[in-house]
Every structure is written in structure tokens, then in C-alpha cells.
Structure 1
Amino acid sequence: MSKYQIIILKCLVIGLMFVKIPTSQGQEMPSKKKELEDAYQQHTQQIASLKSELAQMKEKVENLEADKRKLGYEKDGLIQDLNSLDYKVVDLKKIQDSLSAELLETQNQLEINLGINQQLKSLLETLTASQASQEDSVATNFTQNETTVPLYLGSFVGTQPESVIKDQDGKEMVINGQKIKTPPIGHTFTIMSDNKVMLEQVNENDQSITKLSGTYTIKTDNEQVYEMACKLKNDQDLVLDYMITINKLSEEITCSLKDQAPFKLLKNILVENIGEVTSE
């Protein structure tokens, strides 16, 4: 052996003297295995728990999606109901407009009927006044003889249509470029045998009533016509002169007022014997 080999061998022996050989390594192995098994078991349980929670969350998600679909169906149903309500609102609006038009027409008809009722009421008052005057009169009462009642006696009704007012020269009156017109006026003449005449005028626009009274004069009485001049006034200094012409053959009656177009009158056959009433 060489000198160098001996030195190396000594170093190896010395190194072995300082190396500690473990004696408990075999005893520690079972303990670590148990720890690993416990840890594995614990992780396995955690994984199982997470899987269970995941399954529950999936179920909740499916339930939420089902609820979402249900809400979608309900939303579609509500939209359809809303559209249906919109159509019903439109139909109700049409019905409302139709009812409003019918109501307006009914109101207009009521106003017309009111005007007619006022005319009839005024005519009844006139007849009642004439009858009362006859009963209080110590002169003549109803004539009971065989004399025929003249055609011009009785009650006559007619409407003077809307017309343009004319001046003394017969020219139409115009103010600010607008022709001055009179409204349609309903006339009810009550002509009595004692040369007395009463007139009721009804403005067919506002249903206002004007009452006048006066006398008449027979201007013409031949085989063909009667021509009567009626002078009437009221308590407000209104004076009107009418000319009434009665065709004895055709019984056509025409009434005219100065500077205005003539209009037709009809004898009121509902009122009988009014021509036989006299007044003082």
C-alpha cells in the first residue's frame, strides 16, 4: 500500500466514526402512513361534501331556470292581456263617442220638443185667456146661429224663415261686410170675430217668446181672397204691421211683413170655434 492510499483509508474510517446511523426510522413509518390515510379520508369526505353541495346548486339552478321560463310565460300572457285591454279601450272609446253623439242628438231633439211644448203651452194660455174673457163678457157669448164662421177666423201657425233685413229703400242691410239676418221665427196668430188679433212669436234659435196683440182690418173680401191688415204691438213699444192673404178657393194662406219675404200659414185644425170667440 502506498502512502497516499493509507491516508485516504484513514480519512474514510474517521468519517464513518462521525456518521450517526438512525435507529428509529422503522418505527416512524407506520405513524406517517396513518396520518396520510387520515388526511386522505378527510379530503375524500370534503370532496364528497363539495359534490353534494354542487348537486344542490345544480338543482337550484334548474329550479331558477324553470322559474325564469314560468315568468317568461306569465310575461307573455300579461302582454297579451295588455294588448287585449288596449283593444277594449279603443272599443270603449268608440262606444263613448257614439253615445256622446246620440246624447247630443237627443239634447237637440229635447230642445226642439221644448220649443214645441212652449208654443203649445202659449197657445193654450191664449185660448184660456180668450175663453175667460168670453165668460166675463156681458156682451155676446159663443154664436150658436147657422151663420158660417168666416175662413179668416181661428188660429194660424207658420214659420218665417231666416231672412236678410232690408232698409226703407228695399236694399239689404250690411254692417262690416256682414248681412243683417233675422232668425227663424215661429208665428201663431189668433184672429177673433171682434176684430181683435193676438200673436205669439217664438225665436227658434234661443226659444225666446214675444207676445203681441192688436186689431185687424179686412181690406179685401171678394169671391177669391181675403186680405187682412193686422196691426200689433207689445208692452215694449214694438209695433208690427202684417198683411195676411187667404185664397178662398185653395185655402192657401200667405203672411208678409214690410221689407221681409212672405211666408206660409196653416190653419190650426186642433183649435175649433176659436173664430167664434169675441172679446170686449
Structure 2
Amino acid sequence: MQNIVLNDGHTIPAVGFGVFLIPADGSTYTAVKEALAAGYRHIDTAQAYFNEAEVGQAIADSGIPRKDIYVTTKLWLQDYAYDSAVKGIDRSLEKLGLDDIDLLLLHQPYGEVEQAWKALEEAQAAGKIKSIGVSNMTPKLWQRYVPKFNTMPAVNQVELHPYSQQKELRDLLAKDKVVVEAWGPLGQGNKELLSDPVIVKLAEKYGKDVGQIILRFENQEGIVVLPKSTKSERIKSNLDIFGFELTPSELEDLRALDTGKGSHDPDAPGVEDYLLSNYDIHADD
């Protein structure tokens, strides 16, 4: 597995396995066990995915040493007030069954962001978290919050795929060596993207599927990719992206597919209210 160095000195596997929308009915456990068996060593979950416990159990039952598995989770904005954030961090550790978390992100950039970030910084200093970062921060949101932080985020996880390449954001983050992670790196099943002639032609040339071309492109651009699947063959193929290399001209052709627009706009009005009303991580408390 290829690793990328973060600005805090830690390393992160270049490909991770995402578990968003995989139910906590045994499906997450099965998918994570299968992903680990296939060679993944980076699992990405979140409090608002409601499946941290199954991720943790799959890791425990995998037979793979904990030190060899990179685990990411995310604090939900419902718990951004400082005291709630402190408790939320401990709750994730408990559900995951881990002594520490490799990467903890602020899942959404709204509300008491500065208080939550302080809690992350303190948990990092205490050894509970190795790296800390953010998610869904646009350039506008980044400029609003990050200059007030004492610690530069190591990661910003955002929607990114060939039709939404986040060029402005990546340019902004590059000066502080902040790694960009891609959620939805395959466009969340966008049929137009998956049948794009430029990508299909490259898949035919290299004897790969279109998903592998897309993920390899993003990888060569320095992006950490987090593909998700519950299908065995797809889980395996999404990891098999290192046996070929796209040429400079092919990379340019893929960069030209960028529309500058994704399916999610964190800057849109009403996003915070929508998220809070649709994701209650304490509903079963």
C-alpha cells in the first residue's frame, strides 16, 4: 500500500475503505472484514454513519495487528460544544474499542467549530488521537475557521471526483501541505461519469475498469481516495490501482473533465439545519 505523509509527520494509506450508508445490521462488519482481507489497511467511518461499533469489531476479529490498520472517524456537529466534544471523542473510542484513533475529523464545518477543534487538539496532545482534520470545508469555510485554530488540520475530506476536482481548494491547502481526501471518489455512481468517453477509452487501453482509472487518476493527483462497496469484486478492484500509470497527457485529459461543481455545496444556506434535523446521533441514548 502506498502511504502519504501528513503535515504532522504521520502517514496515511493512500486508499481507504469507506462505510458511509452501510447499515449496522452486520453488513458493516462483513464489508470491513472483507476489505481487510482484501488488503485494505485504512477504514473510514463516522459517528453519523452509526456503524463505528461494527467497524471496531471487524478490526478486532480480523487477526491483523492494530498498529497495521489506520482508522478514521468523525465528530458530529451535534456535539461541537467543548464539553460534548470531549465526551464524543471518548464515545468513539469506546464504540470502536480502540485506545487511540489515527485520524479524527470535524465532520461538518458549522456551529461551535472552534470549541470542537480545541477538544481535538487536547485529545491529540493526550495521545487519544494521532492526527486531526476537518471535512467538507470549502475555501470560504476554511478561511472563516482555520486561521483561528492553533493547529493546522492535517486533512480536509471533501467531495472529489473527475467532475468536481476542487482545484481552488487544493491550491489553498497545498501551501500548508494539507492532504485532501476524496469522499465519493467515483461520483457516487454518476452514470455520466462512469460512461465518460475519455475514461472509457483509458479503461480499454489499460485493461482496467472505469472505477480503477478514476481512482488511479485521483491517486496520481495526490488525493487519498475512500471508495465504498459491499460487492466482493468491487472491493478488490477498487484497491487494485497501482499496477499502471497514467501519462502526463492522459492526466491533462482527465483534468479537463472538471465542471467545478459537485452534488453537495457546503456553502449553501440551510445545510446546517438540514444536517442537524436528519442526523441525531443520540436518538438511542
Question: Shared fold (TM-score greater than 0.5)?
Answer: no
Question: Greater Rg, structure 1 or structure 2?
Answer: 1
Higher strand fraction (1 or 2): 1
Relative contact order higher in (CA < 8 Å, ≥ 6 apart): 2
TM-score normalised to structure 2 length: 0.21
TM-score normalised to structure 1 length: 0.22
